[in-house]
Amino acid sequence: MILVQQLVLGLLVGGLYGLAAAGLSLVFGVLKVLNVAHGELIMLGGYGAFWLWVLLGFDPLLALPLVVAGALAFGVLLYWGLFAFVVRAHEETRIKNSLLIGFGLALATHALAVRLWTADERSITTTYAGAVLSLGPIAIPLVRLASLVLAFALIGALHLLLQRWRWGRAIRATAEDWEAAALTGIDVRRAYLLAFAIGTGLAGAAGTLVSVGYSISPSIGLEWTLKALIVVVLAGLGSMLGTFVGGLVLGLAEAASAFAFGGPYREVVGLVIFLAVLVARPRGLFAR
């Protein structure tokens, strides 16, 4: 029964892994830049929701759209300020420079967050935070269940956006072959900007959900970047629903390994899977 309970909790956190990875995957797939500050963007999103709750008394459900809107705007600024310079370079230089810039951004953001919010762990404790759904011996925390559902809804919305919206199709075309996309009259720079902003918006959403069901601190950035990277490598690029499933798989694998080897090693197992996949299939498990 403990195993089943662990797996359920793993599945619930897995939804957030999927959401965290979706933004990274979109940016990586479209702009061909690897933003290693993605976890820091999640952290900032979490603090955004935290501030809305502490200072203005906003419920996290109400805060979610506000944080996403703020994150979208922040993404536009980040793109104009930094990544627009990176995408001018060749693919090889582009990825290396984006890695370095993301890294500098991560350091600066982390230091800034320590100044603004101190290094303490924070989380949003609403009145309904302790509510639990009991299925026989299995307990499901309602807040975490809600964040899984919201994560799935957001990924679904993104999927539809990429399939149906005019600019969504432009983003996919740019991801496939930006030169061909440019030749057919697509404004590639605009597609880059949109994809980057949406990626940042998704990070903001993920951060809000993390601050509700789990906890945030200035140093969670690297951990979430690694989770997102693991999922991206597991799921490959190109399919948002695949990324979501990849997140669930990672959550389940972590839970199973925590059960088998003890809690302290749950992080290690994900990283080992990551290295194994990276070496065996450098393009991802589900890559075509």
Partner 1 sequence: MSRRGWLALGVTALAALAAVPLVVRRDDVLNFLFLVLLSVALAQSWNVVAGYAGQINLGHAAFFGLGALVTRTLWIAEWPVLAGAALGALAATAFALLVGAVAFRLRGAYFAIGTLALGEILRITVGNVLPEVSTLPTATIGAYRLADRYYFALALAAAAVGVVAALERSRAGLGMQAVREDEEAAEASGVGTLRLKLLALVLSTALAGLAGGLFAYYHISYYPAHPFGPHWTFDALLITFIGGVGTVHGPVLGAVFYVFLKEYLAIRWVDFHLLIFGALFITIVLLLPGGLVEAAARLRTLARRAC
Binding stretches for partner 1 (CB under 8 A): 34, 36, 82, 85-86, 92, 95-97, 99-101, 103-112, 114-115, 222, 226, 229-230, 264-265, 267-268, 271-272, 274-275, 278-279, 282
Query: Considering only CA atoms, which of 184, 209, 248, 202 is closest in space to residue 74?
Result: 202
Q: Smallest distance, Å, CB 233 to partner 1? A: 8
Cβ-based nearer residue to partner 1, 107 or 160: 107
Nearer to partner 1, 145 or 230 (CB): 230
CB 224 within 8 A of CB 202: no
Residue with tokens 């951990």: 223
As measured in angstroms, the least distance from the Cβ of 103 to partner 1 is: 7
Using CA atoms, how far apart are residues 178 and 30, in angstroms rounded to an integer?
9
How many Å apart are CA 150 and CA 28, to the nearest integer?
23
State the nearest-atom distance from the C-beta of 20 to partner 1, in Å: 15
Q: Which is nearer to partner 1, 180 or 275 (CB)?
A: 275
Q: Return the number of the residue (115 or 166) whose C-beta is nearest partner 1.
A: 115
- Please state the closest distance from residue 100 (CB atom) to partner 1, in A: 5
Dihedral over alpha carbons 106, 215, 21, 197 (to 10 degrees): -60
> Cβ of 248: how many Cβ atoms within 10 Å?
21
CB of 282 to partner 1, least distance (A): 6
- Least distance to partner 1 from the beta carbon of 228, Å? 11
- The owner of tokens 């990276």 is 278
Query: What six digits make up the tokens of 67?
Result: 């944080």
Closer residue to partner 1, CB minimum distance, 107 or 131: 107
3-state secondary structure of 58: coil
Cα–Cα nearest to 167, from 185, 201, 184, 190: 190
Nearer to partner 1, 65 or 104 (CB): 104
